[in-house]
Amino acid sequence: MKLLEYEAKQLFAKEGIRVPKGILAGKHEEILLHMDEITGNVVVKAQVDVGGRGKAGGILMADRDTVIETARQLFSTTIKGVPVQRVLIEERLDIQHEYYVSITIDRAKKQPVILFAEAGGMDIEETAQKKEDAIRSINFSPLLPDVPGFLLRELCGNAPAEIQKTVNQLYHVFCKKDALLAEINPLVTTPDGVYAADAKLIIDDNSLVRQGIAVNRDLTEREREAEKFGFSFVQLDGTIGVIGNGAGLTMATLDLIEYYGGKAADFLDVGGGADSERVMHAVHLVAGVPSVKVIVVNLLGGITRCDEVARGIIAAGVSVPVIVRIAGTNAEEGRRLLSEKGYEMLDTMDHVVRKAVEVTG
Ligand code: GDP
Ligand code: MN
């Protein structure tokens, strides 16, 4: 399983590898929530499972004034055909030198192998082809808890000691995470020390159980995402997106869609006590289902507050029409917020479903 850069960086940081301060954002509206944290220059990085993002236009420079526009630009493009769902906004490093380090298994020697290059960065492949000795490598016993110091020095040549330390930390990640590949390109020096500017980690699928990662191979990327938020989510192939709370209410919404001749695009139960952020993520998720033409939000406020629900829907700001039925705690306030923004609301579940079926034909 290949992790995205931001996921890999979280694991690297746990081993003490320094990574730039960053914010993960799903849509430009989410960036607004974090604007206070953005002070200086930043790099906006598409979180897609694609190599060579830099050359494919997936890494853009910005500052506080241009960050939203820049992120929006990434959200509206594809990187090597992959749509951008999330971006990582990182404080821009003042890079002095870019190194390359990569750890994998040398199958022939049945040992880990560490590759290192003084000239890392986006041109590493070409560099390696042109100059055979541009990349150095070392092998050693996989039973050792650390990379032996003398081998580190041989591998890293004149690179600063902190670079050697980082290589050893990356080896710890590689072992602990049962990785097939752990890579930092570029691993950089800055006036403020050494940083992993990029991160790549592929975990051996055979170890997913041990790593506590769900092994359901049939999950779509969207379903994996839903799992992270703790939503019960099943993607279907109809045109009406469904967001409900409680399995019963959500299932009943699906039944009613079927009854009126429509087809549901998903089942999504946000669970109890959902706040605006969860609702926003739910709306994003369902809006991302390719077949969706309209979204029905059918929520009953108990512990869940309808004004929070409304705020979440508004924060999501998706372009597909959202038809809302909310009832219960703070429903009045929720309706007021939504009507201010021009959302369509109907009083009963029957009405919202009929309306959605009508819209989708
Ligand atoms: P990749 O193309 O998918 O490997 O994406 P990277 O994360 O490696 O970024 C590509 C290139 O962007 C790097 O090699 C750097 O040269 C540049 N880059 C990334 N982050 C920063 C940064 O914080 N500051 C500067 N100056 N350049 C950066
Ligand atoms: Mn890179």
In short, whether 197's Cβ falls inside 6 Å of ligand 1 is: yes
- Those residues with Cβ within 8 angstroms of residue 49's Cβ, 6 or more apart along the chain or in another chain: 2, 4, 82
Q: Is the CB of 50 under 6 A from ligand 1?
A: no
Residue with tokens 């993607």: 235
For residue 195, list its beta bridge partners: 188
Ligand nearest to the CA of 47: 1
Q: Hey, which CATH number is domain 221-360, 2.40.50.140, 3.40.50.300, 3.30.930.10, 3.40.50.261?
A: 3.40.50.261
Pairing of strands 294-301, 240-244: parallel
Q: What is the DSSP string of 128-140?
A: HHH-GGGEEEEE-
Average pLDDT, the chain: 93
- Statement: residue 215 has pLDDT above 60: no
pLDDT in tens, 75-113: 999 998 888 989 999 999 999 999 999 999 999 999 999
**Residue 199: predicted pLDDT:** 98
C-alpha dist (Å) from residue 69 to 26, 65, 72, 197, 208 = 14, 8, 5, 23, 38
Q: What is the pLDDT of residue 346?
A: 94
Could you tell me the CA-to-CA distances from 13 to 20, 49, 103 in Å, in that order? 10, 20, 17
How far CA 46 is from CA of 4, 25, 193, 233, 298, in Å, comes to 10, 10, 25, 25, 33
Residues spanned by CATH 3.30.1490.20 within the chain?
21-91
Q: How far is the CA of 59 from the centre of ligand 1 (A)?
A: 7
Cβ neighbours of 303 (radius 10 Å) = 10
Catalytic pick among 6, 99, 100, 195: 100
Identify the DSSP state of 21. Answer: -
pLDDT band at 218 (very low <50, low <70, confident <90, very high): low
Does the pLDDT at position 216 exceed 70? no
59 lines ligand 1 (CB under 6 A): yes
The CATH T-level fold of domain 21-91 is Dna Ligase; domain 1 (3.30.1490)
Contact between residue 285 and residue 316 where contact means Cβ atoms under 8 Å apart: no
Ligand 1 centroid from CA 61, angstroms: 9
Q: What is the mean pLDDT of residues 293-314?
A: 94
For domain 97-207, the question of CATH label 3.30.470.20 is answered with yes
The confidence score (pLDDT) of residue 219 equals 65
Residue 221's pLDDT band, with cuts at 50, 70 and 90, is confident
Q: Find the 148 Cα to ligand 1 centroid distance in Å.
A: 30
Give 349 Cα–ligand 1 centroid separation in angstroms: 49
Q: Tell me the CA–centroid distance for residue 156 and ligand 1, in Å.
A: 21
Average pLDDT, stretch 168-196? 97
| Active site annotation includes 98 | no
Look up 343 and say whether it is catalytic.
Answer: no
pTM of the model: 0.65
Largest CA distance in the chain: 73
DSSP-derived secondary structure letter, 156: H
Q: What is the pLDDT of residues 12-57, one digit of tens each?
A: 999 999 999 999 998 777 888 888 999 999 999 999 988 899 999 9
Atom of ligand 1 nearest to the CA of 51: 3
User: Mean per-residue pLDDT for 275-288?
Assistant: 94
At residue 110, the pLDDT reads: 93
Choose one of 122, 124, 125, 127 to mutate for the ligand 1 pocket test, by most ligand atoms within 8 angstroms of C-beta.
122
Q: What tens digit of pLDDT does each residue of 187-210 get? A: 999 999 999 999 999 999 899 888
Identify the nearest ligand to the CA of 58 by its number. Answer: 1
Which ligand 1 atom sits closest to the C-alpha of 20? 23
Distance CA 353, CA 169 (A): 54
52 CB under 6 A from ligand 1? yes
How far apart are alpha carbons 233 and 242 in whole angstroms? 10
45 Cα nearest atom in ligand 1: 7
101 lines ligand 1 (CB under 6 A): no
**Could you give the residue range(s) of every CATH 3.30.470.20 domain in the chain?**
97-207
Integer angstrom CA distances of residue 115 from 148, 275, 304, 322? 15, 46, 52, 51
